[in-house]
Each structure stands twice: as structure tokens, then as C-alpha cells.
Amino acid sequence: MVKIAHMSDTHLSHRRVRNVRDSWKERYRVSWIENDFSLAFQRALDAAIETKCDFLVHSGDLFDVPVKRNTTSPSEYARAIAISEIRRFLEATHFKVPIIIIDGNHGTYLYRNNSTIEFIKSAFPENVFIATNYDLKRAIVKNEPLKVEFEEINFYLFPYLEFKSMANYEELYDEWISKCQEPEDGKINVAVAHGMFRNLDLHEKLFSFPYDYVALGHDHQQRKYAPNAWQAGSTEKYTFAERGQEKYFRSYY
């Protein structure tokens, strides 16, 4: 039995520039809302450690910025938290639990050929496996799979892509999924994707293929999309619209 810890939408570095408590910032060197998201990330990793999982999956939006035309980089505080907490997780699991992270719609520089999750991979090259938006585009162009393979399990990776924004994008993406992302017989197959049906950025083929589990991100409310597919939800309340939501962490067995 393989146990997967599934988290998403941690939005590290989420902060507000107005109406913040200056005394808090001066004392702790970080705004209170950014601190809340950092603590939520810590709690999620604590929960993952407690599950004694075999794999940890993060289905997008590890960082909050950059996003769209906002080219702001994650704060140094958020970067330090990401590195220190991931190291703490790896040490607690004796460096035996691989971490898989994909790009969401937050955390990617649209006008540079890189992603904020790349430095996480650089910090832990033997333990962290990533897939950026640019990895996805290269895989489509080269007509090759985007996946991470282990002895008994494959992770098929679907970073965020607005594939319905242009007709040729949608056609190429559909063709690539059909040819390159079909599950392999005789292994456990898990899809990891960032998207929602209502935003027209989640492909229906993910639900026609016989994946054992589909780990979704982007929707901040945890919910079941299909018997084998779940949105993990965000780890902290992002807006007042989420004030009534309980924030979760998921495990798949």
C-alpha cells in the first residue's frame, strides 16, 4: 500500500501592503497575514509527517507571487520558510519521502523563462521533483511525457496552462495528453494537476484515463471532483469569501 500526502495552494509570501499592523512588522519582520500563511504551511507539513506518507504531492501555487502581470518576487522571508520547512520535513522522514511539486497560476514569471519552484529543486536535488509551466510547454513541443517514475508508482504532471485561450493550444494539449500521459499498466498511476472546470483550465481527459488518484490544486475549497479525484484546498483562508471554510490536508492510500 502506498500512502500519498496531498497539499496545495499554500501561497507563501501572500501579503497586503495596506492596513497592516506596523508594530507587528517591526517586531517580527513580516506582515501578520504572510505569517499566517507560513504557519499554515508548517502545520500542513506537520500533518504530512504524522501520516507517515511515502510521497508528498503539492499540486500548485506554492508561492503567491509572481502572478499574471505582477512580477513581484516572493519575499526573502517566504523563501527562507519554504527551504527550512521542507528541510525539516525531509529530516523528519529521514530523506526517504520524495516531494513532487508542480507550477500553478501563481509563482511563475510570465516574461522570464523560469519559475519560483526551481530554487526548491536546486536546494534538494535528490528529494524534490518539479514540473514548471515551461516544462509542460517543452514536453508538448517535443511530444514526450511529463512524469516522474518510481519503482511502483508514476506521477503524471499537469502544471497550470490556459489551454483554452487559443484554439491551437487546446488542440495541441489534447493531442499531447492522449499520446503521452496515458497511465502505465502494472503500476500505480497518479495525476497531479492545477486547474478547475469553472475556469476552463482543467482538461476532461484526466477523468477519462484510469488514474488511481488525481491530485488537484487551484480550488481553495477541498472537494471531490470524481471518486478518485480531489481538490486539496488551500492551507489558509485567502479572502473573506473563504471565511466559512475549514482548511484541510488530504491523504490518499
Question: CATH number for the domain including 18?
Answer: 3.60.21.10
- Assigned domain for 246 exists: no
* Grid cell of 217 as nine digits: 490544486
Q: What is the crossing angle of helices 133-142 and 167-180, to 10°?
A: 80
Query: Is 247 domain-assigned?
Result: no
Is residue 47 situated within a structural domain?
yes
pLDDT tens string, the chain, 253 residues long: the values are 899 999 999 999 987 655 555 554 544 556 778 888 999 999 999 999 999 999 999 999 999 999 888 888 899 999 999 999 999 999 999 999 999 999 999 988 876 778 999 999 999 999 999 999 999 999 999 999 999 999 999 999 999 998 887 778 889 999 999 999 999 999 999 999 999 987 778 999 999 999 999 999 999 999 999 999 999 999 988 776 777 777 666 766 6
Percent helix, strand, coil in the chain (nearest 5)?
A: 35, 20, 45
Range of the domain at 175: 4-241
Listed in sequence order, the residues at least 6 apart from 241 whose beta carbon sits closer than 8 Å to its beta carbon are none
Domain count, the chain: 1
Say what the pLDDT of residue 223 is: 92
184: left (phi over 0), alpha (psi -120 to 50) or beta: beta
**DSSP string of 211-222?**
-SEEEEES-SS-
* 170 phi, psi to nearest 5 deg: -65, -40
57-76 burial, b at 16+ Cβ within 10 Å, e below that, comes to: bbbbbbbbbbbeeeeeebbe
Residue 146 lies in a domain: yes
pLDDT at 246: 72
Torsion from C-alpha of 4, 10, 12, 17, nearest 10 degrees: 180
pTM (predicted TM-score): 0.92
What pLDDT does residue 119 have?
94
- The pLDDT score that the predictor gives to residue 21 is 53
Q: How confident is the model at residue 26, as a pLDDT?
A: 46
152 SS3 class: coil
